[in-house]
């Protein structure tokens, strides 16, 4: 009777990631008949998830009847996304397609009790929901530390004063329940490492679109994080602890690292390492990343700054080459300081990686800067959207 149930999720994902601008494309991408694609689109429209623009399209394409264009519903439901970072938090309502509908933030030192900031962030999100009157289908949280599965505990949150092992997912869920976010169940409310979520967002909506095996490396405040998307799914390892790339050795005579080794990427290629190499005294007033990025932008002509950048690029390249040998991704995206380093001198990094990875062919892997604002936040939203993308009917109730 009702057509197009099984293909509902895949179809929504295509529209969500911008790969299905029309019903005709939907037909070929899903490998179904036009009848089914039409029914699927109608069902998604009835669910309020997408909109169909059936006006005569001005875009003169080729022959034949022009397609109606499919859009994500700009006034449709949203998810609540929150990100905790060294200087505060940011909250957003994110619609399908990674569209940020509303956002707000709070800054200041993160208290040692994670429940406090999570409650505050969720309250801010709840206020956004009230203001916008949007329906909320889930929530996602990004934290700047590893998140251990299956319990969602933050491990070693070095930049925050949180205790290691803090059960952030449980606390986040509790905060959502306390704030009375409608429809909150244990099934929604997902938590992940910020670099992992950056990778997810860039893969779906940014510079990683279309990549099969996408590797991301980023450095925010201290340390270096990595993430891997395989076949469209985040690979976070059996306990959620994969891609701890910070402890690859990139400088055998380097500084000692808290992990017991020396010359780890973590201490050799983060913003602090850059500032020290450039001979600058890091100040406490603004984040290390901001200081490093400003320096790169404003004083790149300074020989000392240039030399420090080259040094970090060489170290970073060594680490990335090691990852290329192990993971063989087809695209690499850099965030945070590493994005700035890449943009300052794209060729040097590519040359180092090509030189140190085993096969010239792999050395040719594209290395790109990340392309989304607030990518960790959008990634947290992706986590929350995932159940809807898997099966809209389960979440929205037939």
Partner DNA sequence: GTATTTTGTTTAGCGTCGGCACAAAGTCAG
Partner DNA sequence: CTGACTTTGTGCCGACGCTAAACAAAATAC
Binding site for a copy of itself (CB under 8 A): 146, 148, 155-156, 212-213, 226, 230, 235-245, 247-249, 252-253, 259-261, 263, 322-323, 325-330, 355-356, 358-359, 361-362
> Under the criterion CB under 7 A, does residue 53 sit at the interface with DNA?
no
**Locus of tokens 């001979």:** 279
Q: How far apart are CA 236 and CA 196, in angstroms?
A: 8
> Under the criterion CB under 7 A, does residue 198 sit at the interface with DNA?
no
Q: How far apart are CA 162 and CA 322, in angstroms?
A: 32
Is 11 in contact with 41 (CB distance < 8 Å)?
yes
> CA dihedral in degrees (192, 195, 198, 202; nearest 10)?
-130
Within a 13 Å sphere around the CA of 169, how many CA atoms are in the beta-carbon half? 22
**Locus of tokens 């929350």:** 384
Q: How far is the CB of 35 from DNA (least distance, A)?
A: 3
Residue 230 near which of DNA, a copy of itself, none (CB within 5-8 Å, type-dependent): a copy of itself
> Under the criterion CB under 7 A, does residue 60 sit at the interface with DNA?
yes
DSSP-based three-state secondary structure for 262? strand
Residue 252 near which of a copy of itself, DNA, none (CB within 5-8 Å, type-dependent): a copy of itself
Q: Cβ–Cβ contacts within 10 Å for residue 89, how many?
A: 24
Kind and range of the H or E run holding 215: strand 213-219
Per CB under 7 A, the list member of 19, 24, 102, 369 interacting with DNA is 24
Largest separation between any pair of C-alpha atoms in the chain: 71
Residue 112 structure tokens:
């040692």
* CA 342 remoteness from chain centre: 19
Q: How far is the CB of 59 from DNA (least distance, A)?
A: 9
Residue 181 near which of DNA, a copy of itself, none (CB within 5-8 Å, type-dependent): none
Residue 260 near which of DNA, a copy of itself, none (CB within 5-8 Å, type-dependent): a copy of itself
Q: How far apart are CA 355 and CA 347, in angstroms?
A: 12
User: Given the complex with DNA, which of 3 and 280 has the nearer CB atom?
Assistant: 3
User: Given the complex with DNA, which of 9 and 246 has the nearer CB atom?
Assistant: 9
User: Given the complex with DNA, which of 2 and 347 has the nearer CB atom?
Assistant: 2
Residue 130 near which of DNA, a copy of itself, none (CB within 5-8 Å, type-dependent): none
How far does the chain reach from its first CA to its final CA, in angstroms?
14
Q: How far is the CB of 285 from a copy of itself (least distance, A)?
A: 31
Residue 241 near which of a copy of itself, DNA, none (CB within 5-8 Å, type-dependent): a copy of itself
Considering CB under 7 A, how many residues would be counted as binding DNA? 33
Per CB under 7 A, the list member of 12, 15, 39, 308 interacting with DNA is 39
Q: How far is the CB of 383 from a copy of itself (least distance, A)?
A: 18
Q: Is 42 exposed, middle or buried (0-12, 13-18, 19+ CB in 10 A)?
A: middle
Residues that bind DNA (CB under 7 A): 1-7, 22-24, 27, 31-42, 56-57, 60, 62-68
């Amino acid at each position: 009777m009702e057509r197009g149930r099984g293909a509902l999720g895949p179809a929504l994902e295509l529209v969500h990631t911008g790969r299905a601008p029309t019903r005709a494309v939907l037909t070929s991408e899903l490998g179904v008949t036009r009848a089914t694609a039409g029914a699927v689109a109608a069902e998604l429209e009835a669910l309020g998830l997408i909109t169909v623009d059936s006006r005569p399209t001005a875009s003169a394409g080729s022959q034949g009847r022009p397609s109606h264009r499919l859009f994500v519903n700009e006034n449709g439901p949203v998810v609540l996304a929150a990100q905790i970072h060294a200087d505060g938090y940011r909250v957003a309502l994110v619609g399908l397609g990674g569209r940020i509908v509303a956002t707000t933030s709070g800054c200041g030192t993160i208290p040692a009790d994670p429940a406090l900031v999570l409650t505050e962030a969720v309250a801010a999100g709840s206020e956004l929901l009230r203001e916008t009157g949007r329906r909320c289908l889930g929530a996602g949280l990004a934290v700047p530390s590893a998140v251990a599965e299956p319990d969602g505990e933050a491990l070693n949150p070095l930049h925050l004063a949180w205790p290691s092992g803090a059960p952030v997912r449980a606390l986040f869920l509790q905060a959502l329940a306390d704030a009375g976010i409608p429809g909150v169940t244990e099934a929604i409310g997902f938590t992940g490492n910020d670099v992992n979520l950056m990778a997810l967002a860039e893969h779906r909506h940014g510079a990683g679109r279309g990549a099969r095996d996408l590797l991301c490396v980023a450095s925010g405040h201290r340390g270096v994080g990595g993430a891997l998307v395989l076949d469209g799914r985040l690979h976070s390892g059996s306990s959620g602890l994969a891609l701890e790339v910070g402890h690859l050795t990139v400088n055998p005579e380097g500084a000692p690292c808290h992990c017991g080794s020396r010359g780890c990427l973590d201490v050799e290629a983060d913003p602090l390492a850059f500032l020290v190499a450039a001979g600058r005294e890091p100040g406490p007033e603004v984040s290390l990343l901001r200081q490093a990025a400003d320096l790169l932008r404003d004083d790149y002509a300074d020989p000392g700054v240039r030399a420090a950048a080259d040094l970090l690029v060489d170290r970073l390249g060594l680490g990335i080459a090691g990852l290329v040998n192990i993971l063989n991704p087809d695209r690499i995206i850099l965030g945070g300081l590493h994005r700035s380093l890449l943009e300052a001198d794209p060729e040097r990094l590519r040359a180092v990686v090509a030189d140190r990875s085993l096969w010239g062919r792999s050395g040719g892997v594209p290395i790109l800067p990340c392309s989304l604002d607030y990518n960790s936040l959008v990634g947290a939203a992706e986590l929350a959207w995932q159940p809807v993308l898997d099966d809209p009917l389960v979440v929205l109730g037939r």
